[in-house]
Amino acid sequence: MSNRIAAILVVGLLGTLTALLGFQSHYIEPNTCSESWSTPVYVSLEVDSPNALVRNKYKLYLYREGYHSADFKTERDAPNLGGTPVLFLPGNAGSHNQGRSLAARSSISHEFDWFLADFDADLSAFHGKTLLDESVYINDAIKYILGLYKYHSNKPESVIIVGHSMGGVVARALPTLDNYIPRSISSIITLASPHVYPPVTFDRDITQLYDLVNQWWRYSEPDISLISIAGGHNDMLVLPDICIADSFNAPTLFTYELDTLRVGVDHLAIVWCGELKNRICDSIDEVSEPMNPRRIAGKEKVYEVFKKNFKEDHSPGDAPYKLETGNSILYGRSFTHSLQGLTDIQLPLKSSLISYKASFSAPVELVHYTSYEYRKYGPENLPDPLITSDTIMWYSAGPYIPFRNRSEPLFLEIKPRYENTEMHLRIAWKATFANIAIHYRTLAASWPFAIIVLATLHLSLQYNRQPKVESNEITFRYSFSKSLFRVIGSSFLPLMAVLSILHLMLIRPWFRDIVRSLQYPSESANMASLRHTNHDVNDLLLGNNDPELVWIIPLLLAVACSAVLIIHYVVLFVVSMRQMVSPRFARLRARLPRMPGCWRKATPRAKKIVTLVGGITGLYFVPYQVTTVGLAVYELLTISSDSGFHTAFTEILMWVSVVDAPIIVVWLGNINFQWLRAFASFRNVSASLPLYLYVVYGTPYPTRSPVLLRWLTIAVFAYISGFALVYGCLHAFMIHHLTCYLALWMLAATYDTL
């Protein structure tokens, strides 16, 4: 290992360690929410849905407090309902029990009937088909709920929906479906729901569903009020940036904007946090209109009431002192100043990836605000809290987020207790590294995949320069390791330069359009909802337009190279251990019963045909993600010692398995309940057959290939690697399909040798 590779490995490991320390010190905080208490009684309801399979899996419950439950036992007691239906939708792996805190707060003191949906703890964040099934069921459930009021003299014609996490996405998808009843939804209140793009982009269907739903909400004018409530940096599952709903002409509120809270709330606590629960229920009660068939006020009043109850009207005030830090602070320089009185400080609004550390020589009152959110620092329930230091973590211009006006700055409003208070402002590096890690977590699979593909390309070029590769284990290890080291050591700086220049060029809208046009045609419309002229966004590479953040590219590249090296040595260790124990397994196989005579007498071609037929039959019934992980394990346990390309393709499959593994969890969760319906079997064969055939035929490579074939192969490898680097974050699922295309190309290139 050269000194350059060692330096890259050290930088990558130090960056990862710094991010972990940032999580520990800035993201993991004690929960200060007051607890909620309830005595729930759940009345099970039978939704008459045409979709029998989903109807038998999902459930609907009516919530009643323990001492207030005798008035409703079955649907025959429907006239005892209060008159304003509210439907709670749980999120990924959630339960109807999560809605009991909100329901207990308003089902007795106010005239609200809370209905709770149960999705059988489905993992809807990973699988688009599951998300669509939940949405179809909820539309049928809304029709059923409104039918319970058919004998009321003042029957409601719509429901209020409160959705947690992916439940909020389900709620936004309802008006876009065919079984939606017009005007059956009056308002949607979402808690920590990822509105802009999915939390993980490991499934094609969920990305396309997001595209369709966002298209509808941005380009239509629904008569549905939408309120998005985000939890803050305590929520490491759903980034508050992607909860921002301004592109849907809807307000976004943050939990720390409440004077009774002033802290972030984690992803699960947001449904039971006492301070938040009370403010939500009080706001719903304030906009409630019992005599209105829609049971709620108009959209404008709903927005006005929620904004009033959550946040103060913070804007750049009439402070006698106004300062600007300038962009120099983004380059690591500190900003110091002596405060004489109330001061407004304008920081460059680049990206919420950057966090700041503010320190003061004496206690001050500190508030930060943008056009989206504000936060008053200090203990809750104090009108004028004082601090001496804090980390400023804010949410606004995050990567991949559409914004109408990116020129609005970040303001600090500082009110010192004493004159001549010294202020020291700098970048909080640990918090910033943690922000980068959590925003670009999807790149943890796509960028290492791109590096392995480049190393495989280098190995293929070496194959064409020698007539034959020696077939001993030492040469095998050296050949691929040498290609990997050469790419990381010699190509790191050129690759970093190319990506940095590309990042700077992507600031220009015309250049973004050119790069988007090079995208694989079937995926070119996936994120079209983010490209409206009023909501333009750089959905490529780093996903922001800030030249000062170009240093993130070498950091992420170093982390990716470190991960590739670690996995590579793990593979070598597994191969070494397998060689040590293989003689023992050989003696064990000799003691086992031999195969039937007909199989032993069969020709190799016949055996291969039987294997292919049986494998293809299995591919139809097993999701292609399961096939990929299975092939990766098989390749890892059967790596041929005379083929460096075999090892390279094994590591490619291992990184593809990182993307495919979450879908396997969804499959295992549905395996006991009509799992064939939950997965598109018609797609399994096409998405896994090339990989299966390529592995069965021993991952061949066309050594000493003709010039044209060689250049076409280089083009295929280069495009796959470039796609993973440029489009990898929002299209992570595509690295599986790109690997299939690679396997298909290699099969075609080696057809005459099979």
CATH for 44:
3.40.50.1820
337 shares a domain with 304: no
* 344 and 261 within one domain: no
Q: Which domain holds residue 394?
A: 321-428
Same domain, 251 and 162: yes
150 contacts: CB under 8 Å, gap ≥ 6: 78
Whether residues 65 and 214 share a domain: the answer is yes
Instruction: Work out the pLDDT band at 469, boundaries 50, 70, 90.
Output: very low
Sorting pLDDT into bands at 50, 70 and 90, what band is 395? confident
Q: Does the residue 663 lie in any domain?
A: yes
Helical (H) or strand (E) element with 65: strand 59-65
Instruction: Tell me the average pLDDT across 479-490.
Output: 83
Strand stretches in 421-490, DSSP E: 421-427
| Model confidence at 52: pLDDT above 80 | no
Is 7 domain-assigned? no
Whether 200 is covered by a domain: the verdict is: yes
329: domain CATH number is 2.60.120
pLDDT computed for residue 641 by the predictor: 57
- What mean pLDDT is reported for the chain? 81
User: Does some domain include residue 283?
Assistant: yes
b/e code 736-745 from CB counts within 10 Å (16+ = b): bbbbbebbbb
pLDDT digits (tens, 9 = 90+) for 249-259: 888 899 888 88
The per-residue pLDDT for 529 is 46
Write out pLDDT tens, residues 568-580: 888 888 877 777 7
- Please work out, in degrees rounded to the nearest 5, the angle formed at the alpha carbon of residue 270 by the alpha carbons of 221 and 259: 90
At 448, the pLDDT band (50, 70, 90 cuts) reads very high
Q: Amino acid letter at 468?
A: K
CA distance 379 to 714: 60
On whether both 300 and 331 belong to a single domain, the answer is no
Residue 416 has pLDDT above 50, yes or no: yes
Per-residue model confidence (pLDDT) at position 29 = 76
Q: How many domains does the chain have?
A: 3
Inside any domain, residue 609: yes
Q: In the listed set 398, 428, 458, which residue is the last one of a domain according to the structure?
A: 428
Six-digit token string for 277: 């629960």
Q: Which residue has the tokens 């096409």?
A: 686
Q: Is the pLDDT of residue 361 over 70?
A: yes
- Quick one: pLDDT at residue 615? 64
Same domain? For 390 and 462 the reply is no
Instruction: Say yes or no to pLDDT of 461 above 50.
Output: yes
Do residues 424 and 511 both lie within one domain? no
pTM of the model: 0.88
User: Is residue 350 domain-shared with residue 456, that is, in the same domain?
Assistant: no
- Regarding whether 377 and 279 lie in a shared domain, the answer is no
Q: Residue 120 burial (CB < 10 Å; 0-12/13-18/19+)?
A: middle
Predicted confidence (pLDDT) at residue 471 exceeds the cutoff of 50: no
pLDDT for the residue numbered 74: 62
Q: Is residue 701 part of a domain?
A: yes
Concatenating the DSSP letter of every residue in 285-346 gives HHHB-TTSTT-B--HHHHHHHHHHHH---------SEEEE--GGGGGT--EEEEE-SSEEEE
The reported pLDDT for the residue numbered 447 is: 94
Q: How far is CA 662 from CA 303, 473, 567, in A?
A: 37, 34, 19
Rounded CA separation 615/613 (Å): 5
Percent of the chain with pLDDT over 90: 21
For residues 367 and 418, state if they share a domain.
Answer: yes
The predicted structure's pLDDT at residue 165: 92
d(CA 478, CA 296) in angstroms, rounded, equals 70
The number of beta carbons lying within 10 Å of the beta carbon of residue 20 is: 14
Residue 391 · residue 366 · CB < 8 Å: no
The strand pair at 225-230 and 185-191 is best described as parallel
The residue out of 245, 277, 310 marking a domain boundary is 310
Q: What are phi and psi of 185, to 5 degrees?
A: -125, 125
Residue 3 forms part of a structural domain: no
Q: Binning pLDDT at 50, 70 and 90, where does residue 327 land? A: confident
Same domain, 148 and 290: yes
For residues 428 and 357, the answer to whether their CB atoms sit within 8 Å is yes
pLDDT at 164 over 90: yes
CA 18 to chain centre: 22
pLDDT at residue 349 greater than cutoff 50? yes
Distance (Å, whole) CA 147 – CA 652: 54
Residue 314 pLDDT level (bands cut at 50, 70, 90):
low
Burial profile 432-454: b = 16 or more Cβ within 10 angstroms, e = fewer: bbbbbbbbbebbbbbbbbbbbbb
Q: What pLDDT does residue 170 have?
A: 94
- Residue 424 or residue 480, greater confidence: 424
Are 215 and 355 within one domain?
A: no
Local confidence band at 89 (pLDDT 50, 70, 90 cut-offs): very high
| Residue whose tokens read 């990822």 | 194
Is 14 inside any structural domain? no
Of 394, 428, 462, which residue constitutes the final position of a domain? 428
Residue 291: pLDDT band by 50, 70, 90 thresholds?
Answer: confident
